[in-house]
Amino acid sequence: MISRIELINEKKLVGKQMIMCYADYRIGELWASFMPRRNEIQNKLSDELISLVVYSSTHFVDFKPTNEFERWATVEVEIFDNVPNEMETYILPGGLYAVFIYKGLSTGISSFYQNIFNIWLPNSNYILDDRAHFEVLGEKYKNNDPSSEEEIWIPIKAK
């Protein structure tokens, strides 16, 4: 499993969020409400989309598919100016991240995440940090396409 370690600065994000769980995973509904309006967002730093997840501090300690979390569909902006109606802001704190490249259909991403958390992380010099997780959906991302690529960013800190 190939990864890189990156230290990032704070990011300002604008988008939409929903509370959901893996047992009732409504990510399609979230993105369907965001995508038609994404071009209303001003001061974007790029065309990349950021899919962000905010878990509770105990989410992975006592994991159940019914544990709720915040899922965000966002873009990064330079400043929070003229935020569109029905959209919200989120400040992603800076910090250390392990970055993985996932290639393939979304149906295989669950096992990819299991490898990160069950193999890579325990065998690394890091532990999971209590900050948001996110995926960067850039120019190589193609929804429901086997050639799709996205970056998976996992918050970490030294053991």
- pLDDT score, position 33: 97
Q: What was the pLDDT predicted at 55?
A: 95
pLDDT digits (tens, 9 = 90+) for 75-86: 999 999 999 999
User: What would the pLDDT profile of 19-39 be if each residue is shown by its tens digit?
Assistant: 999 999 999 999 999 999 999
pLDDT value of residue 88: 98
Domains and CATH numbers, the chain: 3-158 (3.20.80.10)
* Mean pLDDT computed over every residue of the chain: 95
Sign of the Cα torsion 10, 141, 104, 143 reads positive
pTM of this prediction?
A: 0.94
Q: Is the pLDDT of residue 144 over 80?
A: yes
How much is the pLDDT for 46? Answer: 96
Mean pLDDT of 128-150: 94
How big is the chain, counted in residues? 159
**Average pLDDT score over residue span 141-146:** 89
Residue 24 to residues 76, 145, 153, Cα–Cα distance (Å): 27, 23, 23
- In 3-state terms, what secondary structure has residue 34? helix
Torsion angle, alpha carbons of 33, 79, 136, 51, to 10: -30
How far apart are alpha carbons 134 and 157 in whole angstroms?
Answer: 16
Q: Report, as an integer, the average pLDDT of 50-54.
A: 97
